[in-house]
Structure 1
Amino acid sequence: MAYVKEDHPQFIILDEIQTLLKKYGQVQVEKELGSIGVLLTEQKNPKNKEITLLEAAKHFLEDEFSTYQSISPSSQSSYKSETRSFCKYFGVNIDKNLSTDVLLKEVLTPEKLEAYIQQPDIAEATRRKKAAFLRTFVDSVARDLLSEKKINQLNKRALHLKPPDPQPPRAFTAEQIDYLLNLSRLTRCALRNYTILWTLVGTGIRVDELHFQMGDVNLEKGWIKVKAKGRKERAKVKRFMTKGAIKAMKYYVNFTYSHLKNVLSETDYNRLYVFSDDNGKHALSNRAIQKMVRGLIDKAIEDKVIQDKVWDSDRGEEVKVNYSTHSFRHSFAVYALESGMNIYMIKELLGHKSIGSTEVYLDLFDEQYQKAMDKHPFAQLEIDQLKHLGVDV
């Protein structure tokens, strides 16, 4: 029996290859096929590798198998702008097809790429953006021009930037937590959202540890069992709760699930997910929780209760602070330290494997101390006295 076109292996294989090329780009597909000894295209003659920067840019932006074709529209807009800027730096105008016959291999040197990225008056974030673009650009257009070793050298020498000093984790103040809790009471599923916030700040657990079930809750002893990060097969471990979290959880559980206790078997009741959108059948997703918390934080920023930018003295500029569900975990740790709790006990409460992970909160604790000292009655007195002496404060 003759094949119809749709059933013929030739056309099935071609369709699947086209799908892979559109999704991942020619470079990635060729790389993976090459790793198993299959070549998608013929090896080009090394003698025919003299292409101009303009030709390379056009290939990057227009070739149907280019990596550029597989990225999102917003990323395409950004990469096109970066391509334009890079070419312009070397006297090539891609919009008007104006070229000074600059060869691609002439600009792909560590010295020239580094000079481009390290131009004066460019912000650090912009340098990183340019370096990220060039890593993709070089990988896309220079595979037939440069050896794998040469491309790796460019990436390491010129296109690798030291990561900035990480911002310390940011905790909410007690006033900010109170404000967020009050805001949560105005949302859809207010009681559930209110209890989620109390659970986060009253246990220090991570957002993906909120997927516990009724059988994991022991309100009499004040703990819940969660699938802990880094444990074998995510084994369940105890996380203790503050009195406020216990009280909120008890009210929520009674209000939400008490009517099911006499309807379901004990086994089925214990399998219900505490935080759910369908009466306990499935756990509320991380994304849904993060979206809810993000909305509350954005509202608090809009109301000027939370400031999302802080001054970074190391960088000499304001930096954006990304508050999130994890900020409740930071808050739990900071205020545990403030209450005088031993750092090793906090390590166990947070489920850290290493004390080093917990010690990062000591920096935040120092910051809390400094803020408290600045509010000390003698602080203003000292400033006034120094002003009398003519000291610039």
Structure 2
Amino acid sequence: MNRASATKSFKAYLKLERSLSANSIDAYTKDIDKLYQYSELQVDKKSPTDFSLTDLRDFIAWVNELGMIPSTQSRIISGIKAFYKFLLMEDHIKSDPSELLETPRITRKLPDTLSVQEIDQMISAIDLSKPEGTRNKAMLEVLYGCGLRVSELTELKLSNLHLEIEFIKVTGKGSKERLVPIGSAAVKALKLWIELVRVHVPVQKGEEDMVFLNRRGKRLSRVYVFLLIKELAATLGLKKTISPHTFRHSFATHLVEGGADLRAVQEMLGHESITTTEIYTHLDRSYLKSVITEFHPRSTKP
């Protein structure tokens, strides 16, 4: 099986059998390209379909020498494992050499979070006297109140708002939909934007169902949301690394600190794996430690 044929068949497998998104398919294809590039650099020019576990470990060592970080290496290994699983299913190989291939340990960097007070300060810093002020306040209330990704915010549809029961339907990664509860503050801000301001915006054709529009009647870009948050942070003199994702991290952290069930948080964030959500338990443990240090009568204070 030559490289072109293997790549084409693998892409079809990822799309039809695994139902992966276009971005994931592209990433996996690039990973397999790296594997073939590596094989062509070797003296014996052995095809990846003939690789052993030792060959794959040597490949990962080569990737490491290129300076790729552990998270990237981990993703490449995931792509390789999917490739060899496909080859085995199609009877192109007799055994899977990637079965015992180890994934590098990834040290999760704890993200910056905002306190509830800092969230309030940023939302309060929005100039409501400006035409876009009501819209921007609604956006940040929804971003924080529902823990959305920035793309989920900008693609939010009017037809997916169920404000009477305080839920919204969100389309996340891989076009997967989920229902997310929305709090009263976000509901109030959304209604003000939709009922008092958005009704006066000249909506462009094809944008009728979009919640957040610019003054020309088109959906907002993710870049706009990034710039808005950077501007508000600068106005308040906040020194943290702040982006739309900071609001999502803060949403999750505040829920976990408040005692929310981790699986409930996982569901609301739209995480495939509970291990992705578990990063917030590290923040929670730190929070609990500080509470005990400060308030427990048996604690030794410095």
8 Å CA contact 1:203–1:239 kept in 2: the answer is: yes
Q: Give the distance between the partners of 2:290 and 2:129, measured in 1 at CA.
A: 33
Q: Give the distance between the partners of 1:326 and 1:196, measured in 2 at CA.
A: 13
Q: Is 2:194 the counterpart of 1:253?
A: yes
Alpha-carbon displacement from aligned partner over 1:277-303 (angstroms, at most 9, x marks no partner): 036x42100011111112112333x2x
Q: 1:254 is paired with a residue of what secondary structure? A: helix
The match for 2:67 is 160
Give the unaligned 5+ runs of structure 2: 5-39, 44-58, 71-105
Q: Is 2:274 the counterpart of 1:355?
A: yes
Q: Give the distance between the partners of 1:273 and 1:225, measured in 2 at CA.
A: 13
Counterpart of 1:148, as a letter, is: L
Q: Is 2:216 the counterpart of 1:297?
A: no
8 Å CA contact 1:222–1:246 kept in 2: the answer is: yes
8 Å CA contact 1:227–1:237 kept in 2: the answer is: yes
Q: Is 2:273 the counterpart of 1:329?
A: no
Alpha-carbon displacement from aligned partner over 1:80-121 (angstroms, at most 9, x marks no partner): xxxxxxxxxxxxxxxxxxxxxxxxxxxxxxxxxxxxxxxxxx
Counterpart of 2:224, as a letter, is: A
Counterpart of 2:114, as a letter, is: F
- The correspondence for 1:148, drawn from 27, 34, 41, is 41
Q: 2:179 is paired with a residue of what secondary structure? A: strand
TM-score by length of 1: 0.47
How far off its partner does 1:239 sit?
Answer: 2.1
Q: Give the distance between the partners of 2:60 and 2:191, measured in 1 at CA.
A: 59
Bigger relative contact order, structure 1 or 2 (CA pairs below 8 A, ≥6 apart): 2
Alpha-carbon displacement from aligned partner over 1:231-269 (angstroms, at most 9, x marks no partner): xxx254322211221121122211113468xx99xxx99
- The correspondence for 1:172, drawn from 98, 114, 131, is 114
TM-score by length of 2: 0.60
Q: Is 2:136 the counterpart of 1:229?
A: no
What pairs with 1:102-251 in structure 2 (closer than 5 Å)? 148-149=41-42, 156=63, 158-160=65-67, 163=70, 165-185=107-127, 188=130, 189-210=132-153, 211-230=155-174, 234-251=175-192
Change (3 A) 1:382 1:166: closer
Alpha-carbon displacement from aligned partner over 1:28-56 (angstroms, at most 9, x marks no partner): xxxxxxx99xxxxxxxxxxxxxxxxxxxx
What pairs with 1:63-78 in structure 2 (closer than 5 Å)? none
8 Å CA contact 2:229–2:242 kept in 1: the answer is: no
8 Å CA contact 1:205–1:239 kept in 2: the answer is: no
How far off its partner does 1:359 sit?
Answer: 1.2
Counterpart of 1:198, as a letter, is: E
* Residue-pair matches, total: 212
Q: Give the distance between the partners of 1:156 and 1:206, measured in 2 at CA.
A: 30
How far off its partner does 1:181 sit?
Answer: 0.8
8 Å CA contact 1:184–1:296 kept in 2: the answer is: yes
Q: 2:285 is paired with a residue of what secondary structure? A: helix
Q: Give the distance between the partners of 1:157 and 1:203, measured in 2 at CA.
A: 38
Q: 1:382 is paired with a residue of what secondary structure? A: coil
Q: 2:214 is paired with a residue of what secondary structure? A: coil
Q: Give the distance between the partners of 1:349 and 1:153, measured in 2 at CA.
A: 35
Q: Percent identity?
A: 25
Larger radius of gyration: 1
Q: 1:237 is paired with a residue of what secondary structure? A: strand
- The correspondence for 1:273, drawn from 181, 201, 210, is 210
Counterpart of 2:227, as a letter, is: K
Q: Give the distance between the partners of 1:216 and 1:157, measured in 2 at CA.
A: 44
